[in-house]
Structure 1
Amino acid sequence: MTGVPASAGGPSGTRGAAAAGRGDAEGTPGPGAGAVSGGAGGPQDVRGGLDMREENPGHDGPGEQDEHGERDEQDGARPVRGGKIAAAAVNQASLWNVANLLTMLRLLLVPGFVALMLADGGYDPAWRSLAWAAFAVAMITDLFDGHLARTYNLVTDFGKIADPIADKAIMGAALVCLSGLGDLPWWVTVLVLGRELGVTLLRFLVIRYGVIPASRGGKLKTLTQGVAVGMYVLALTGWLATLRFWVMAAAVVLTVVTGLDYVRQAMVLRRQGIAERRTALEETRA
């Protein structure tokens, strides 16, 4: 609860004080956001005194029964921890959300895909079809987990780290298997994986100046790569085998072009960041 004693206006007074200091959804303090008078407790920071109903909207007011028939504690009975601790608890509780579960599924599919791809020497059409199914599931879940995380606010630290790892793991495993079996030249595998690792490293190098957004070309590259690799995983013959060659050629071209574009964006971002810092330093000295 807010920590405001009942003498300050009872439950209705408590709700009014919490609402006055809440501000908007972006964390901008509202009117009276400096401090809330806590009676005997003195001034209290608003973030530390927000009503727990702000983070658990299903809870009823003080002294009222909730859906389980239990009563909330009266105001001031127990102090509420700071907003940062509460936010950390929420993030920890949301670890097992649907977006992260899809990411974990993709990670588990990697060893299964490799086993299916290399079963019976790696050239059996039946096993290759099963390997393609595992690869297709991984690609489809890649499309959904990020969308679900952004749409329903399911973004977690685990997802930020595991999602790109899962993407590169399934694609890298497929490329290495195909090259190892002689279906795909090794220079294609080295080029694609080198580009992915290079762009990831580039993002980290310029992150102090800003974030390089994903471009439409990069998304098209990912889609083309997935289609091309999927066609190579299948044991195709005839005109379909010719078609997959040209799809892979398009994927290689997009890989190179988008990689160079990321380098250009990184250079521009770094230049702008240095200029802004220099201007801010000069203004500070003046």
Structure 2
Amino acid sequence: MTGVPASAAGGPSGARRAAAGAASGKVPGASMGRSAARSTEGGASGAAPGARQGAASGVGDSGAAAGDGAESAVVDAQDDGKPARGGKLAAAAVNQASVWNVANLLTMLRLILVPAFVALMLADGGYDPAWRALAWAAFAIAMITDLFDGHLARTYNLVTDFGKIADPIADKAIMGAALICLSALGDLPWWVTGVILGRELGITLLRFLVIRYGVIPASRGGKLKTLTQGVAVGMYVLALTGWLATLRFWVMAAAVVLTVVTGLDYVKQAIVLRRRGIAERKAALEEKEA
């Protein structure tokens, strides 16, 4: 018995323990496998929350990306001049509200003063000094508002489509009404009224004809003409006598001269502007074809 190795001596019992261990799942190294499996499961379970967090964060990021994409789409649409849904309504509301600004209200006042001026001018036969004084007050208010509404519109960015159309109409309406009333009452020759109104309407039409080539700016001579016309017509509206009546004649003569000279200057500017515009378009077409 002493010659038998120890491992052999304990062989049967060792075999039985091994069999029992295998049956019970306690094979040598199995515990290590289970611990490794547990560590693997832990890693998997540890990875699972991470994966869930990653998925959640992925969903959140995709939602944020979608929100950012929608917002950028709105911005891009606005930058492209195509407002998002509801943008047109907002823009229309802004444009509608912008019509009721100070400059346009002054223009509307000037339009309202035209029939009031005619009624006062022709009241009581048109020769009553008191009524003529009231007519002069209405005319003076209209001319003063003409000086301020354009300045306010340009200074405070109140320019609107309504103002662009109504302002020149109001200017021509009050001046035309005054000249026609004076000529109808015999205070002013009809040829003077014809020259002034013909020039004003002709230059306005000329501006529209050459607008495709550019804008004819108002010159200093044109502004001086407008001022001189206003002073001359205002002096004729008043029932003046003596040296003031003589003075108003010379002021009106100066207004007629300025009316003709500045009108010819605007015609010259229109011709030059048209030729320049045609030449530029021709050069652009040649460059495009080349």
Under TM normalisation by the shorter chain, which class is it? 0.7 to 0.9
Counterpart secondary structure, 2:146: helix
Q: Take 2:233 and 2:68, find their aligned partners in 1: how far apart are those partners?
A: 67
Q: Is the CA contact 1:178–1:184 (under 8 Å) kept in the aligned structure 2?
A: yes
Inter-partner Cα distance in structure 2 for 1:200 and 1:178: 23
Q: 90, 96, 100: which one pairs with 1:92?
A: 96
Picking from 40, 46, 56, the partner of 2:75 is 46
Which has the larger share of helix?
A: 2
The runs of 4+ residues in structure 1 deviating greater than 2 Å are 36-43, 45-50, 79-82, 84-89
Name the structure 2 match of 1:261: 265
**Cα displacement (A) at 1:47:** 5.1
Using the size of structure 2 for normalisation, the TM-score is: 0.73
AA at the equivalent of 2:122: L
What are the equivalent positions in structure 2 for 1:40-189 lying under 5 Å apart?
A: 41=70, 44-46=73-75, 48=77, 81-82=86-87, 86-189=90-193
Q: Is the 8 A contact 1:172 1:193 kept in 2?
A: yes
**Alpha-carbon distance in 2 for matches of 1:228, 1:192:** 12
Letter matched to residue 272 of structure 2: V
Change (3 A) 1:91 1:39: closer
In 2, Cα distance between the equivalents of 1:40 and 1:47? 10
Of 240, 246, 249, 1:242 maps to 246
Distance 1:262 1:220 in 2: 14
Letter in 1 for 2:142: A
Question: Matched residue of 2:182: which SS?
Answer: helix
Question: CA distance change for structure 1 residues 255 and 196 in 2, over 3 Å: closer, same or farther?
Answer: same
Number of the residue aligned with 1:204:
208
- Partners of 1:275 and 1:85 in 2: CA distance: 42
Distance 1:277 1:87 in 2: 34
- Contact 1:37–1:43, Cα closer than 8 Å, also in 2: no
CA separation of 1:198 and 1:235: change in aligned 2, threshold 3 A: same
Offset at residue 89 of structure 1 (A): 2.8
- The residue type paired with residue 227 of structure 1 is V
Counterpart of 2:162 in structure 1: which amino acid? F
Aligned partners of 2:157, 2:134: CA distance in 1, in Å? 34
- Residue 284 of structure 1 is matched in structure 2 by 288
**Unaligned stretches of 5+ residues in structure 1:** 1-6, 14-35, 51-78
1:183–1:232: 8 Å Cα contact kept in structure 2?
yes
1:223-266 CA distance string (max 9 Å, x none): 00000000000000000000000000000000000000000000
The alignment-based identity, stated in percent, is 83
C-alpha distance in 2 between matches for 1:40 and 1:261:
57
Tell whether the 8 Å contact from 1:49 to 1:80 is kept in structure 2 after alignment. no
Q: Secondary structure at the match of 1:44?
A: helix
Helix, strand or coil: the match of 2:211?
coil
RMSD of aligned alpha carbons = 2.2
| Matched pairs, number | 226
* Contact 1:48-1:80 within 8 A present in 2 as well: no
Match of 2:222 in 1: 218
